[in-house]
Amino acid sequence: MLSCSVVLVEIHFHLCLWYVADTHRYAISPDLVGFVCVTSALETDADLQYLVTGGKLTKVKSNSWKKKRFFQLQDDGETIWHESQKALKRNNTFSINDVESVRRGRQSEVLQKFTDSSMEDLCFSIIFKGKRNTLDLVASSPEDAKHWVTGLEKLIASMQNLNTQQKSEHWIISRMRRADKNRDNVMTLKEVKHFLHDINIEVNDMYAAKLFEACDISKSGALEGEEIKHFYELLTAREEIEVIYGKYALTAGQMSASNLLDFLQKEQREAVSLDYALMLIEKYEPDSAAKQKKQMSRDGFLRYLTSAEGTVFNPAHKEVYQDMRQPLNNYFISSSHNTYLMEDQLKGPSSTEAYIRALTKGCRCVELDCWDGPNGEPLIYHGHTLTSKVLFKDVIKAIRDYAFRVSPSEVIHVHSSCLHQTSEYPVILSLENHCSVEQQKVMAKHMTSILGTALLTRPLGKKMPTTFPGPEELKGRILVKGKRLNKLDVVFEDNSSVDVDSVSEEDESAEAKEGEQKAKAKKSKIKLAKELSDLVVYCKSVHFNSFEHSKEKQAFYEMASFKESKAKQLAEHSAEFVHHNIDKLSRIYPAGSRTDSSNYNPVQMWNSGCQIVALNFQTPCKQMDLNQGRFLPNGKCGYILKPHFMRIPDFNFDACNLTSGRWLRKKNLHIMVISAQQLPKLNKDKVSSIVDPFVRVEIHGVTADKSSAQTAHINNNGFNPMWNKTFVFAINVPELAIVRFVVEDYDPASANDFIGQYTLPFTSIQNGYRHIPLLTKCGNVIPSAGLFVHIMALDD
């Protein structure tokens, strides 16, 4: 066993590797590509060496639960082991792949509550992907804390910088290492069987023995060195890639630049030049001899296919590419409901962490449900329920810190890819105000003092506007949505309004009360403080009466909120709703009866032009997949420009009743689901639990475009199942269509289990042979898994 660990660092060639314990090195296969594990980095990097040596940290859970535990980086360079006093806890580890971020200082609620401010430089938190609890730790000195945070950030950066093929190789090799139970750096037949089960392949004993025998050239009864390399090559051979490559590799068995250009133009349908093909060879070809000849080998071709250029998502859409200077109402805006909740809305915890997670996912409209609290401090929680409470001022601080980007002072960054940057575009605070006038004034004070110049307190410009500014003009600004005592034009007048007056409650607030007290004859009223009223600029909440009333009486900055049932009724008159949203903002929110924090389908609301379609971000579901897919392009900035026919009054677009119009750009979408790679096991505790995967392709959009189709399931193979199944979908309105790829584990006796999914707009899909990453229920990338498809969108 190695006396010190090995750290993954990215370099520009691929390799196959295996432990050689006595030399502290890996055997390198020069004709493969991937990443390299080097021990030399440990000898020169103090932070990484510190993690290898390990040390004691105080784990904090509460005021009374603070215990020292030993933490250490393991031999694989990605697993952290930690001491545990629980007798039944076998797996005291976590993977760097499961870490979302590392925050230095007292940035979590636990550390803020249960540690002293003098310990700021000793504290740090490890934030995990999904629903795993944050790990809050205290080091013995500021230097120790810095070593841990910086070292962990370096490991995260090294894993993030691996491309898809490198992640695949790393995943396989880490499983090989895990199968080597006695760490003798050879593989027996028993270990090979264990390895095959671990990577999600069910094979009978005869096949396993035959595969083992074919690789055991020395007849020693164990695989080592070149025999392991041969075993690896047999295992990872991609027959479908070989066929494609062979068709175009017409220059002495390899692809010349002109051969590659032919492939790009014919198969990938890309209008590119020979210079582009040469660029791909220079970028992805690992063999220097082939590169010198301006040729691409099989390894280079696979590396290209698993790169950003080769994936299904158009790389040009990874950055902000849309016009961001149009009025705010011309955009779909990523929006959260009950943002403070981590779970359900009856007894789930409220937390500032929920706001941080939503904002870092690109959410640009968050909800603050505000109630009177003790000691004159307003609270945020779900009223009349058992949800926990969080201070209003703590939420505002979290919004300040995470609305646009994490401050370098809060996180030690070692690589640009580690910078947890969110969108630069405006954030809207949707206030549900249940507070007394006194605590409303406190709310206003906290927002102005904590948010400072980021808080928008008056319209842009020197005269009364007639339309919204654009996201570009509002970069870095925070807007308040709520009730206002007067018209916006009084900002430009000398006279002042009254200090306090009554206004009708928000529709959502009134609905919550009606649920308890039954229907009321008239809207309830609340007192509104001028200090809070004055912070509402472009998003004044008003009650909706009718489309006609809104057109005649409603100013552009006055917006209505609609419960999902009301919005669905209005969406039945889609053309009118679209017209309403051409110059007004609309917010849609889930019904109060969704006590489990489930979600409605947002697509129908987007089809009606509604901009702020609020969902429960804390609930993994298909609806959140669609939301993540809708806001995947345009740099994940949380703003997507609505189609032109939903922004211009002259159009009469109706998503329910399509007629001739510029929105009808009919396409036939041909999708061949070819294969999948390295699907995760669903029951990791059972060695024999192998998935039976199938793929479903779903089309979401206007009513006429809704469709789905699925492959047959493949028995006992989650490692490299192949389907070669083709589907054809008719798309009428491509600008509103969303495509969702879902992989599930077939179960004849019960509901199928979710494995992974990927969702993106039709307009962001690339044609040709493409790899598709797969995401977990919580929307995180599964490092090793993916689909391989062929896509062709043809004019009808």
pLDDT, tens digit (0-9, with 9 covering 90-100), for 633-652: 999 999 999 999 999 988 88
Q: Does residue 745 have a known ligand-binding role? A: yes
Q: Classify the C-alpha dihedral 496-498-503-506 as positive or negative.
A: positive
E strands, 129-240, where? 135-138
Q: Is residue 4 included in any domain, yes or no?
A: no
Cα–Cα distance between 608 and 578 in angstroms, integer?
5
The domain tally of the chain equals 4
Among the candidates 116, 137, 160, a domain finishes at 160
Active site (catalytic) residues: 337, 382
Q: Do 266 and 345 reside in the same domain of the chain?
A: no
Rounded to whole angstroms, the Cα distance separating 75 from 51 reads 11
* CA separation, residue 633 to residues 504, 627, 640, 744 (Å): 38, 11, 8, 25
- CATH number of domain containing 459: 3.20.20.190
How far apart are alpha carbons 604 and 465 in whole angstroms?
A: 31
Q: What are phi and psi of 138, to 5 degrees?
A: -130, 125
Tell me the CB-side half-sphere exposure of residue 793, using CA atoms within 13 A. Answer: 18
Say which range, 82-96, 692-706, 745-759, has the weakest mean pLDDT. Answer: 82-96
| pLDDT tens digits, 390-428 | 999 999 999 999 999 643 333 333 333 344 457 999 999
Indicate whether 8 pLDDT > 60.
no
Strand pairing category for 99-104 and 536-541: unpaired
What average pLDDT does this structure show over 18-31? 33
194-198, 272-276, 376-380, 764-768: least confident range: 194-198
Residues 6+ apart with CB under 8 A from 477: 426, 427, 454, 455, 456
Does residue 652 fall inside a structural domain? no
pLDDT tens digit sequence for 751-778:
999 999 999 999 999 999 999 999 999 9
Q: Which residues of 733-750 are buried (b: 16+ CB within 10 A; e: fewer)?
A: bbbbbbbbbbbbbeeeee
User: Which range has highest mean pLDDT (324-338, 383-397, 568-582)?
Assistant: 324-338
Cα–chain-centroid distance for residue 458?
34
C-alpha distance from residue 277 to each of 142, 165, 261, 291, 298 (Å) = 50, 20, 6, 12, 15
Which three-class secondary structure state does DSSP give residue 237? coil
The reply to whether 67 sits in an annotated binding site is: yes
Q: CATH number for the domain including 113?
A: 2.30.29.30
In a domain, 170, yes or no: no
Please tell me whether 514 is known to bind a ligand: no
Residue 451 pLDDT more than 60? yes
pLDDT digits (tens, 9 = 90+) for 148-206: 999 999 888 888 777 777 777 877 887 888 788 777 888 899 888 888 888 877 777 78
CB-based burial label for 166 (10 Å; 0-12, 13-18, 19+): buried
Residue 595 annotated as part of some ligand binding site: no
The strand pairing partners of 598, in sequence order, are none
Question: Is the residue at 603 inside a domain?
Answer: yes
Residues 639 and 735 placed together within one structural domain of the fold: no
Residue 4 is predicted with a pLDDT of: 31
Instruction: Give 341's strand partners.
Output: 350
**Is 635 within 8 Å of 727 (Cβ atoms)?**
no
Task: Tell me: do 368 and 306 sit in the same domain.
Answer: no
Per-residue model confidence (pLDDT) at position 659: 79
In the numeric block, which tokens belong to residue 643? 């189609």
Q: Tokens at residue 207, please?
A: 């096949």
Tell me how many helices (H) and strands (E) the chain has: 23, 34
Asked if 447 and 454 touch (Cβ cutoff 8 Å), the reply is no
**Are 693 and 735 found together in one domain?**
yes
* 441 appears as a binding residue in the annotation: no
Q: For residue 193, give every residue at least 6 positions away whose Cβ sits within 8 Å of its Cβ, in sequence order, or none.
A: 203, 205, 208
The torsion angles phi and psi of 310, rounded to 5 degrees, stand at -100, -5
Asked if the model's pLDDT at residue 559 lies above 90, the reply is: yes
The reply to whether 522 falls in a domain is yes
* 366 DSSP 8-state letter: E
One domain for residues 301 and 354: no
Across-strand partners of 72? 81
Helix (H) or strand (E) holding 707: strand 707-710
Distance CA 115, CA 106 (A): 8
Those residues whose C-beta lies under 8 Å from the C-beta of residue 184, and which sit 6 or more positions away, are none
For residue 19, is it within any domain? no
Tell me, yes or no, whether 167 lies in a domain: no
Give the N- to C-terminal CA distance of the chain in Å, as an integer.
62
HSE (CB half, 13 Å, CA atoms) of 259?
A: 21
Chosen domain end from 281, 310, 339: 310
Q: What is the mean pLDDT of residues 330-349?
A: 90
According to the model, what pLDDT value does residue 14 have? 31
pLDDT of residue 508: 59
pLDDT tens digits, 734-756: 999 999 999 999 998 889 999 99
Task: Tell me the angle at which helices 226-236 and 205-215 cross, rounded to the nearest 10 degrees.
Answer: 130
Is 18 annotated as belonging to a binding site? no
- CATH number reported for the structural domain that contains residue 785 in this entry: 2.60.40.150
* Euclidean distance between CA atoms 6 and 155, whole angstroms: 11
Residue 65, annotated as binding a ligand:
yes
Burial of 622 (0-12, 13-18, 19+ CB in 10 A): middle
Q: What is the pLDDT of residue 88?
A: 56
Instruction: Provide the pLDDT for residue 166.
Output: 79
Return d(Cα 290, Cα 285) in angstroms, integer: 7
83 annotated as belonging to a binding site for a ligand: yes
Beta bridge partners of 94: 80
Rounded distance, CA 305 to CA 789, Å? 11
> Do the annotations mark residue 561 as ligand-binding?
yes
Q: Which residues contact 334 (CB under 8 A, 6 or more apart)?
A: 361, 362, 363, 364, 365, 627, 630, 631, 638, 639
Task: Of 53-62, 141-150, 401-410, 447-456, give the lowest mean pLDDT range.
Answer: 401-410
Euclidean distance between CA atoms 185 and 171, whole angstroms: 17
Mean local confidence (pLDDT), 606-633 = 96
pLDDT of residue 421: 58
Query: 10 Å Cβ neighbour count for 766?
Result: 21
* Partners of 709 in the β-ladder: 697
Do 388 and 514 reside in the same domain of the chain?
yes
The CA distance from 586 to 432, in Å, is 16
Let me know if 383 is exposed, middle or buried by CB neighbors in 10 A (0-12, 13-18, 19+): middle
Strand pairing of 66-73 and 79-82? antiparallel
| More confident site: 738 or 84 | 738
Contacts for 686 with CB less than 8 Å, ≥ 6 apart: none
Closest CA to 712 of 695, 726, 729, 727: 695
Where does the pLDDT of residue 145 fall: very low under 50, low under 70, confident under 90, or very high at 90 and above? very high
Tokens, residue 73: 């980086």
| 3-class DSSP string for 614-658 | EECCCCCCHHHHHHHHHCCCHHHCCEEECCHHHCCCCCCCCCCCC
Handedness of CA 676, 677, 678, 680 (dihedral sign): negative
368 annotated to a ligand binding site? no
Does the annotation list 393 as a binding residue? no
CA nearest neighbour of 528 among 370, 730, 342 = 370
Q: How confident is the model at residue 2 (pLDDT cuts 50, 70, 90)?
A: very low
pLDDT of residue 585: 97
H or E element that contains 710: strand 707-710
Strand partners, 761: 738
User: Does residue 367 have a known ligand-binding role?
Assistant: yes
The band of 19, judged by pLDDT with boundaries at 50, 70 and 90, is: very low
Q: Say whether 60 counts as a known binding-site residue.
A: yes
What is the rounded average pLDDT of the residues 348-371? Answer: 93
Task: Report helix, strand or coil for 216.
Answer: coil
Give one word for 716, left, alpha or beta, with left for phi > 0 and alpha for psi -120 to 50: left
If asked whether residues 687 and 604 sit together in one domain, one would say: no
Percent of the chain clearing pLDDT 90 (strictly above):
64
pLDDT single digits (tens) 510-536: 554 444 444 444 557 889 999 999 999
Q: Can you name the residues that pair with 223 across neighbouring β-strands?
A: 187
| Residue at 450 is within a domain | yes
- Whole-model pTM: value is 0.87
* Residues 498, 463 share a domain: yes
Task: Give the residue-averaged pLDDT of 331-347.
Answer: 90
Q: Does 741 lie in the same domain as 609? A: no
Q: Please identify, among 160, 191, 213, the residue that sits at the C-terminal boundary of a domain.
A: 160
566 is in an annotated binding site: no
- Res. 256: pLDDT tops 50: yes
What is the pLDDT at residue 233?
83
Q: What is the pLDDT of residue 49?
A: 87
**Do 262 and 119 lie in a common domain?**
no
641 in the same domain as 602: yes
What is the distance, to the nearest Å, from the Cα of residue 106 to the centroid of all Cα atoms in its chain?
25
The three-class DSSP label of residue 572 is: coil
pLDDT > 70? residue 465: yes
- 683 annotated as belonging to a binding site for a ligand: no
As a whole number, mean pLDDT of residues 87-102 equals: 79
The Cβ-side half-sphere exposure at 688, using a 13 Å CA radius, reads 1
- On average, the pLDDT of the chain sits at 86
DSSP string across 244-306: HHHHH--BTTBEEHHHHHHHHHHTS-----HHHHHHHHHHH---HHHHHTTEE-HHHHHHHHT
Is a pLDDT exceeding 90 seen at residue 36? no
Range of the domain at 298: 239-310
Residue 126 annotated as binding site: no
Residue 587 is labelled as binding a ligand:
yes
Instruction: Give the span between the Cα atoms of 335 and 610, in whole angstroms.
Output: 11
Higher per-residue pLDDT: 491 or 76: 491
- Do both 245 and 344 map to the same domain? no
